[in-house]
Structure 1
């Protein structure tokens, strides 16, 4: 028998929604339409949320799945066409303009095989400071046997719309030093920690220090192999040709807000994105969808032996 529920709650000062479907649980905030957590009963979380996360207006919580739009990271590292959309690029906040503002609830639906919720942000109705363009964003979330996240942007203006973006997903791991990422072998990447050099990933990705890489044209299917928790987190994406892999490690963790100094051991960001040459240009009335499906499963015998 299917068990599903939807409940509106307060977390700190934020309005949030708690969804459940069978043994799956999801928490999402109206601010930034940010997924905060995703887990299954009696199992470690799949989406990681910092224990020091702040749930206050105007502050994006550390962890979950923040939405980076209409640029990713430092605006000045974005293509000139993305920078030109913003009137004060030298004073631009990191990761865009929509993470810390309230989105509008579009609807909640309980289906036979899932619970769905969606939010929207319309820059005509709520103009973004120093970004004088017309766009509508819709975040659709489906919680069933897997978690499906879709971010759609529609150009409501009369001129082309140019942006970069990311689903800035934080995943929970037992120990980052024991984790392997499969699927990126053979991909070129930008090593941002060493003068943005272009390199090639020759084998499965392991972690032994701070990591901040932009993978170019990665496959749609990526796996996080966690031998201690005996599970694989599967990531199946579409609408992007970039993936950012990030872990702050020891030194940078000391400088991060809303972040325990030891928390780097339990998290890994794999951010499906459109960045650098993968930035999106939308003609008037056109739209673009970025999506990811996430699900966890027990390790197979072959994976355990790797």
Structure 2
């Protein structure tokens, strides 16, 4: 049985990916540091579901712990690594920059080193649409220049892509970076806008609408993200023949819904699903935020025959149903 290591397995995407792979018959090793960036009880609830699978092992580990990470690789026959562990959040990176350096830079190089020394077949890792910064050209393409990040979070994700390319080039490690676009869905992150909106609307609290609701986001439902990740995992990169600047076994893909939605329209969709109208406070755009994200997914579709397509109405209905059941609200 093939063994997949998933870092950040108690996180939003890590949980859903672990569950999918376990159901597909893989053996999954999950690691997570269970930090308190958001409600640890939600992470624990995800973990308890995963522990019900006989082919799941969990290790409480931090990526910064280089020796423990190396020992984990040494003691387990891991074939593929999906690195989803990271300090997330654009706005939080303004408050606690060192958390991003520790997890997203030091932690990532520890994973790269472990892959280098243990003959890993494929490293798939999370990047982010935030690397595009305030790029004006849309939709965003992986061929675009991304040298102008507007948050430290974005800078660390761009750095991950550069680090991965270096290891692919030097050590022939097949790596694939995935630029996720505004992922939402069941068991989601409580720091995300749609989660905060839902919570506050149900509690009768005012919601903050930044950029006066005029931002656009390529909201991507979690099931689409997972389908894309699973397909990419199975396609191990080979040395490039179409890139004159690199012959490394290295790929980058966008995973987004390819259909940006205005923030105010997204809020309206949540209101309809809840059957409640929100009281809104309209505010200017926040530092580090960008006015639009919009994924060009042509490369992803050409490579793996899939692109996200779940409409926000369906995705939000699924989230709201889960939220009411989970929080008994």
After TM superposition, the score normalised by the length of structure 1 is: 0.30
After TM superposition, the score normalised by the length of structure 2 is: 0.29
